[in-house]
Amino acid sequence: MSYITRTLNSYAMIEINQLTFHYKKQQALFADLSFQQENGSITGLLGKNGAGKSTLLKLIAGLLKPQTGQLTINGFEPFERHPDFLSDVFMVPEEFSFPPVSIDCYLKATAPLYPNFGYEKMDKILQEFELDRKKNINRLSHGQRKKFLIAFALATNCRLLILDEPTNGLDIPSKSLFRKILVSSVTEEQLILISTHQVKDIDTIIDKIVMLDEGVVVFNEDVIKISQRWQFRSAASLTAIADPIYHEKCPGGYRILCEAGDEDETDIDIELLFNAIVNKANLN
Amino acid sequence: MFRNDLLINQKTYLFTLAGLVIAIYALLYFSMLTTKHVGINQYSGFIVFYLVCVGVVIGTAFPALTNQTKTSNYLLAPGSTLEKYLVQFVIRIVIFIPIALLIFWISAHLAKASLVPDPNIGFNPQVSITDFSFQSLFNLLYYKDITPTLLGIFSVYAFLFAGSVFFNRFPLPKTLILAGVIVGAVVLSFVLFSHLIFPAETNGFKIHLNIYKITSDTDNMKLFLYFLSCLSWLFFLLFGYFKLKEKEV
């Protein structure tokens, strides 16, 4: 099927049906995973250590081959690693490396591989991140290299951006800048998939939360719907809240998850929601 | 992808070539200077050593596959597997081998030209140092056909090239160990079959190879070696390609 045909047809950006995957000589990590995701959102992929987040991202990027089931991204099977697929997907891994060349040289060599690369966008983000194009990438600090990688990822204008722990190694101002740049540079045609444990770093920018637990998608909800259905409150004692769904002790009282009534919507406490799901609180 | 590789690795490639020029020139020059005599037999020793060095460069192809992080970057770079494979093949084999051979030829002539005649000890480089030529090397071979010999060398390089895709960490030592294991297994199987088929003529590892004429200028061993050299490179190159295609991180 040609690239044009694939583009014109309306595919869900990520389409996973009954996927199974296991590493060699290990138990199945995904036994019957199904998951769909349209473009036009920034999705937070959450889960405990070992839940399979990074593996899922690698499967989506085409770095791993599923044993059975269907996995298509933009109509492509990722593991075929078709050049048109690869030029429309960019992954920012948790650990990364660069060749010992300057930013300029790297851009000259690598940017042409991405047909939609935005050179002006790259310049703008580099300026915002205060990165000097003449510097050797490997002489930058870890945080600066991460910022360069994020800048490059955003400038590729790939329809699928996969960010694995993007805020690890960034200082506080850079985290805030990262959020600002990400929100301002993402278009409706793109899907940003962010896997992180630093939920506070992304809680204001994501518009969908997907949670993985033991190889299963246990939660998949839009942020708007979460706000409409549940309230996240703090109280000195539990008696103040009728029928809390889940609560946790915190300095000064409790953080409480409860059904939303007619009261105003509250900010989402992703950490509390995550813990509620992990502890199998009844959210139905 | 080709442009990408050249831009990223240009310094590495240039330093490798420069290192090769300096090393082989110095080796040949000092050898000529100290021994005062270099003939085609001596050149054959140098060229074998030099071809081993060329093998090292080929056996370290796909440097991006030596660790997980680099492998991810490499596999996710926009380009087909065939393109990525061909880039390494063209750079490390198609371009590098002729350049390397040219470097040897130039170095050999340059080293000879650099020597100063010394009448006191009767040393005249024009007389005691043979002019190097690749053609004269083939006269030393038992089977004098050039094509199968070249394909045989190419097969060894194709084996090293495939090994660099197959093994993730320390590909060159592992490929050499694998080569040792394969050669050992072949020798052992020869010994075993020799014991089974020619028990009277075989004694321990002293085996009997039954060589017989097939045509007036071809014997069975020659035919076997020709088949081996003509087909194995193709197998190794295809094997390497499919291994790269199925690479996971």
Q: Express each pLDDT in B87-102 by its tens digit.
A: 999 999 999 999 999 9
From B88, B113, B140, the end of a domain falls on B140
pLDDT tens for each residue of chain A, 284 residues long: 444 444 444 455 899 999 999 998 888 889 889 999 888 889 999 998 888 899 999 999 999 999 999 999 988 999 999 999 999 999 999 889 999 999 999 999 999 999 999 999 999 999 999 999 999 999 999 999 999 999 999 999 999 999 999 998 888 998 999 999 999 888 888 999 999 888 888 888 898 999 998 888 889 999 888 888 888 888 888 777 777 888 888 888 888 888 887 777 788 888 888 888 888 887 77
Q: How many domains does chain B have?
A: 2
Report the predicted TM-score, pTM, of the whole model to 2 decimal places: 0.86
Tell whether B55 and B96 lie within a shared domain. yes
Tell whether B124 and B163 lie within a shared domain. no
Tell whether B125 and B8 lie within a shared domain. yes
Question: Which residues does chain A have within 8 Å of residue B3's beta carbon, measured at their own beta carbons?
Answer: 109, 112
Residue B78 has pLDDT above 60, yes or no: yes
Q: Which of A93, A96, A113 sits opposite B77 (nearest CB)?
A: A113
Query: What average pLDDT does the segment B204-214 reach?
Result: 82
Q: Give the DSSP per-residue string, B219-238.
A: EHHHHHHHHHHHHHHHHHHH
Q: Whole domain around residue B77: which residue ranges?
A: 1-140
Tell whether B21 and B117 lie within a shared domain. yes
Q: Which of A63, A91, A96 sits opposite B248 (nearest CB)?
A: A63
Q: Which of B70, B78, B80 sits opposite A114 (nearest CB)?
A: B78
| Alpha-carbon gap, residue B153 to B101, rounded angstroms | 13
- B241 and B80 in contact (C-beta within 8 Å)? no
- A45 and B57 in contact (C-beta within 8 Å)? no
User: Burial letters for B193-211: b for 16+ Cβ neighbours within 10 Å, e otherwise?
Assistant: ebbeeeeeebeeeebeeee
B10 in contact with chain A, both atoms CB, cutoff 8 A: no
Tell whether B94 and B192 lie within a shared domain. no
From B79, B112, B140, the end of a domain falls on B140
Tell whether B98 and B150 lie within a shared domain. no
Q: Is the ipTM of this complex over 0.95?
A: no
From B140, B162, B197, the end of a domain falls on B140
Tell whether B94 and B184 lie within a shared domain. no
Question: Which residues does chain B have within 8 Å of residue A91's beta carbon, measured at their own beta carbons?
Answer: 72, 76
The alpha carbons of chain B give a radius of gyration, in whole angstroms, of 22
Tell whether B67 and B148 lie within a shared domain. no
Tell whether B167 and B119 lie within a shared domain. no
Tell whether B111 and B1 lie within a shared domain. yes
A111 in contact with chain B, both atoms CB, cutoff 8 A: no
Tell whether B34 and B110 lie within a shared domain. yes
Tell me if B77 and A93 make a contact (CB, 8 A cut-off): no
Could you give the angle at the alpha carbon of B7 between the alpha carbons of A110 and B2, nearest 5°?
75
B217 in contact with chain A, both atoms CB, cutoff 8 A: no
Find which of B1, B5, B8 to mutate to test the A interface (most A CBs within 10 Å of its CB): B8
* CA B68 to chain CA centroid, nearest Å: 28
Tokens of B226: 């020709």
CB atoms within 10 A of CB A243: 6
Tell whether B115 and B38 lie within a shared domain. yes
